[in-house]
Amino acid sequence: MTHLHIALWGVLPYLVLLLFAAGSGWRYRYDRFGITTRSSQLHESRLLRVASPLFHIGLLLVIGGHVVGLVIPESLTERLRIPESAYRANALLVGGAAGLAAVAGFALLVWRRLRTRAVRRSSLPTDRALYPVLAVVLVAGLAATLAGSGAGDYDYRLGVSVWFRSLFEMDPDVTAMRHAPPVFQVHTLAGMALFALWPFSRLMHAFAAPVGYLLRPYIVYRSRGFRTGARPGSGMPGHPPAALAAQGSKARQRS
């Protein structure tokens, strides 16, 4: 084990986590109203209607797959009597489809930004730094999914997953990550670079999603006809309320 491996897999994750937490807190404190997607839908909407859902839905499924693959140990699936072949087939089909959707959506979004002058001009320097990192994360992650879920000898749940869980125990298993195939190491390093850039990019809008909108109380609307004195259910305007009639009479008297 060299000092480089200790720095990459034992020290760097905590530095990235510190930068992520401190940067997010700073952004929320001093740039709360700057946390936005900076939507460019007004400039181009045809490609956006396809690319954005494809990218976001695929990304959500990818995140779910990471939670299952990294957090749930192999011993638990064994106790649940889930065959290893079934687990790998599900990871390959679902994870591969989600990865392809995220990559395709991201490619369309980048193509849209490059071909539409107004969208391209609205790009920030952080976007130009973010897109290459995100591209490496997605492509390397898709390759790792195909490699780790196939019939290969490497089982990431006995390597990368063990290292990931050991970080929360404050005792990083550097050896587990050191022996991972290069594609997993590249994916992990690019992922840490992505989290380091996260607080300073438009990715912060993920924390500003209107989750409370789903739990809001119902809004009761009154029809315009009812507000002006229409007879409910008739669809025809009725006589104005007495108060409005009195106000109209006073106005006529003053004039």
CA–CA dist 1, 154 (Å, integer): 20
The number of helix segments (H) and strand segments (E) in the chain equals: 13, 0
**Of 218, 169, 243, whose CA–CA distance to 10 is shortest?**
169
Q: Rounded to an integer, what distance in angstroms lies between the CA atom of residue 125 and that of residue 130? A: 9
Here the tokens at position 70 are 């990294």
Q: Which residue has the tokens 């989290």?
A: 195
Whether the CB-CB separation of 178 and 191 falls below 8 Å is answered with no
Helix intervals (H) in 31-83: 46-71, 74-79
The answer to whether 3 is annotated as binding is no
* 66 annotated as belonging to a binding site for a ligand: yes
- Which CA distances in Å does 156 have to 71, 81, 230, 248? 12, 19, 68, 79
d(CA 15, CA 250): 74
CB 183 within 8 A of CB 137: no
Q: Which residues contact 186 (CB under 8 A, 6 or more apart)?
A: 136, 140
The CA distance from 74 to 87, in Å, is 10
Q: Are 213 and 48 in contact (CB under 8 A)?
A: no
Q: Which residues are annotated as a binding site for heme b?
A: 56, 66, 187, 205
Q: Which residues are annotated as a binding site?
A: 56, 66, 187, 205
